[in-house]
Structure 1
Amino acid sequence: MMTQPIETIFNPKMVERSTSYHATGIAKSDTTASFHCHDHEEAKKEDDKNRKARRILWISVLICLFFMLCEVAGGYIANSLAIVTDAAHLLTDLASMLISLFSLYIANRPPNQKMSWGFHRAEVLGAFFSVFLIWVVTGVLVVLAIMRIIHGDHKVDAKIMAITASLGVLVNLIMGALLFFGGHSHSHGGGGHGHSHGGAPKKSKKKVHAAESGHGHSHGGHGHSHGGHGHGHSHSHGSENSDKDTESGHSGHGHDGANINVRAAFVHVLGDLIQSIGVLIAALLILFLPKWTILDPICTLFFSVIVLSTTIYILRDALVVLLEGRPSSVNFGEVIGSLQAIPGVNKVHDLRIWALTMDKVAVSVHLEIEDEREAQRILRDTRKMLKTEHNVHECTVQIESYNSEKDECVRCVPLKK
């Protein structure tokens, strides 16, 4: 099939029967003009998720504070460093939950001209500092345990130690269940919708046209173009919104990711649970074998290492977000393959994938096409694909005229693994 020349595409005679796109994001057809404001369903879903996370964290804070005081008293009476270590880890959990709550309140603030992305990454910083805090406290307890072993000062009251450790296991199980089952929501069907700029008539067939300059934008579902050489640009928030094919973040059956702060709190509690079980085992051994009191500081050393290892994953994921890395939930090769499979796309370059937060992925990409009459259709298909297949929260797509001479451009070379 012969491709229509560019000169014909931008023939001024075509303007009268083409769809025009304005900077306001209003799509205007031959017979109707409509305005569609922001769809707040996705924002409402996010607010509900944060509200639920805050409620879970507040309940966990109260439980953690109460039992931490009980463990401090029990550890002092039993002269057990292992119990005090467990109490110190509960103190760290308490601090991390309070940091997480503060982060959630900050992240809920709307974006402004200075912080155009909003304050979403405040929760990532909160998780990062909570992990740092537990590393500091654990380091101090390791030093104390080593000093006890060196000086032989490890006499403990095994009975009180066992009772306190048993309560620790029970409390950590309760908090762990609260954070795990309360922090993961389950959904069937489509996910929430974002907001789109512009509206569409129910049966309008849009064609791309331009008058002079040729730089076009599409926001959400529609956009605008300013004549010229046919350069299109699409920026999409949330989900595609139209009369026939409203798209969602997920389709089918899926799980919503837990808030990163709830996840961080769960990891802390998991570490405390492991330590409480270890302390309980050590207490029972000391109770029946009184000469084994050295197990108290040894238990502190051993489980401190385990607790540190459980925080590695939270720290790694937080660093990926802060360094604008690609989240592990998105496969770079699959995304570029999906883009190349879109009909009408000749070349894909400048693909960038990064994490805004742990559960919000952003994508920007340049697509080169030959038939520029297909630009709006390609923009629409690209947005739908990125959201439904790869759960992309924010996407910016730029349409360019295909030029084989660009093949040697160093900036267009595919990224290395």
Structure 2
Amino acid sequence: MDGEVEKQLLLSGEKCSYSGIPGKDLHSQVFTYISDLNGIELGHQENQHCHSNREQDDWNSKEKKRARRKLYVASVVCLLFMIGEVIGGYLAHSLAIMTDAAHLLTDFASMMISLFALWVSSRPATKTMNFGWHRAEILGALLSVLSIWVVTGVLVYLAVERIISGDYEIEGDAMLITSACAVAVNIIMGVTLHQTGHGHSHGAGNSHSHSHGVGDHSNPSVRAAFIHVVGDLLQSIGVLIAAFVIYYKPDYKIIDPICTFLFSVLVLITTLTILRDVLLVLMEGTPKGVDFNLVKDTLLSINGVKALHSLHIWALTVSQPVLSVHIAISMGSLVWDQK
């Protein structure tokens, strides 16, 4: 098997770029592997070419369009019902419903941030931002998580205050109707945002692989919004249970702030996974599912590669890994494209 075939197996049909023609010591300046990255359009010199994967570009563009469509639909539903829930919470004198409305406000704000992030990340690379604007999605997801942490802290404080004072009355019927509608609306938003994406990758020899479900190919902005909705659904279910109890047993009104407290804690827990992924990208850690030693061994196994150093693997966003490495090649080897 020649070096070109091994190289194609390594790259698996994804984007790659080669910088620097090897010198007399046959030490190339850098070998870079970039998954789905639109670079700056530059003039080409003789015997230097840049190859792009148009299928991956089309797939990424379609993925972002689907993400925007999901966020648009969910944000409209969220805004409309948030207004209805504020009215229902006011009529029911229920802190739990009002706090659920506050969660919806946070969800709506996070979706707006995510939509802005998706728009910014679609902008082309520039000489200043030569990796593009992909990190905007990660920053949007981070702001989304932090915002719900702040609001949840306020809700916990209000719940504790109501438990201590005990000076409140609950309208059970209004609370029951509003909370039932809240559960239904959150389910609708969850179904809208749930990602059952169908990912493709085309490798050497026309091999074709698929990936399904929420995973490495999921859009981080949509995923963050989905986590928000799941957390809000958990609280809405708690409010609905509390509404049933208060409707039949009005003296048990303390359940209203207790449920607010308990389910706010659950909301915080649900954000930990997305926060972990966001911090991994921001700290430029090795992406999930990538074995550093395996990548190193695979590069060294290519015919003509004598040694390598300065191997770095990171990600621009959750689904866009990047690799750069300095390699030394043996005399007479052809491990770069000269077409």
TM-score by length of 2: 0.80
Larger radius of gyration: 1
Q: Could you tell me which of 71, 76, 83 is aligned with 1:57? A: 71
| 1:253 alignment partner in structure 2 | 210
| 1:158 alignment partner in structure 2 | 172
Q: Is the 8 A contact 1:154 1:297 kept in 2?
A: no
| 2:7 alignment partner in structure 1 | none
Q: Is the 8 A contact 1:321 1:354 kept in 2?
A: yes
Aligned-partner Cα distance in 2 for 1:278–1:129: 26
Deviations 1:8-64 (A, max 9, x none): xx8xxxxxxxxxxxx825549xxxxxx887553322222211111111100001100
Identity of aligned residues (%): 49
Q: Decide whether aligned partners of structure 1 residues 74 and 365 sit closer, same or farther in structure 2, where only a CA change above 3 A counts.
A: same
| 1:264 alignment partner in structure 2 | 224
Deviations 1:245-275 (A, max 9, x none): 5778xx4222371211000000000001111
Deviations 1:57-84 (A, max 9, x none): 0000110011111111111111111111
Q: Could you tell me which of 372, 377, 396 is aligned with 2:331? A: 372
Q: Could you tell me which of 326, 330, 334 is aligned with 2:286? A: 326
Letter of the 1:327 partner, please give it.
P
Deviations 1:215-256 (A, max 9, x none): xxxxxxxxxxxxxxxxxxxxxxxx8xxxxx5778xx422237
Aligned pairs for 1:75-154 within 5 A: 75-154=89-168
Aligned pairs for 1:2-401 within 5 A: 24=44, 27=47, 38-180=52-194, 183-187=195-199, 190-191=201-202, 251-255=208-212, 257-369=217-329, 371-376=330-335, 379=336
The alpha carbon displacement at 1:151 in A equals 0.6
Aligned-partner Cα distance in 1 for 2:316–2:129: 13
3-state SS, counterpart of residue 342 of structure 1: coil
The alpha carbon displacement at 1:86 in A equals 0.8
Letter of the 2:185 partner, please give it.
V
Aligned length: 294
The alpha carbon displacement at 1:184 in A equals 3.4
The alpha carbon displacement at 1:368 in A equals 3.5
Aligned-partner Cα distance in 1 for 2:210–2:276: 28
Aligned-partner Cα distance in 2 for 1:25–1:167: 63
Q: Decide whether aligned partners of structure 1 residues 36 and 311 sit closer, same or farther in structure 2, where only a CA change above 3 A counts.
A: closer
| Gapped regions of structure 2 (runs ≥ 5) | 1-23, 25-42
Deviations 1:118-155 (A, max 9, x none): 11111111111111111111111111111111111242
Q: Which moved more, 1:302-311 or 1:341-350?
A: 341-350
| 2:34 alignment partner in structure 1 | none
Aligned-partner Cα distance in 1 for 2:93–2:114: 32
| 2:30 alignment partner in structure 1 | none
Higher relative contact order (CA 8 A, sep 6+): 2
Letter of the 1:277 partner, please give it.
I
Q: Is the 8 A contact 1:99 1:126 kept in 2?
A: yes
| Gapped regions of structure 1 (runs ≥ 5) | 1-9, 11-22, 29-34, 192-238, 240-244, 381-417
Q: Decide whether aligned partners of structure 1 residues 343 and 71 sit closer, same or farther in structure 2, where only a CA change above 3 A counts.
A: same
3-state SS, counterpart of residue 310 of structure 2: strand
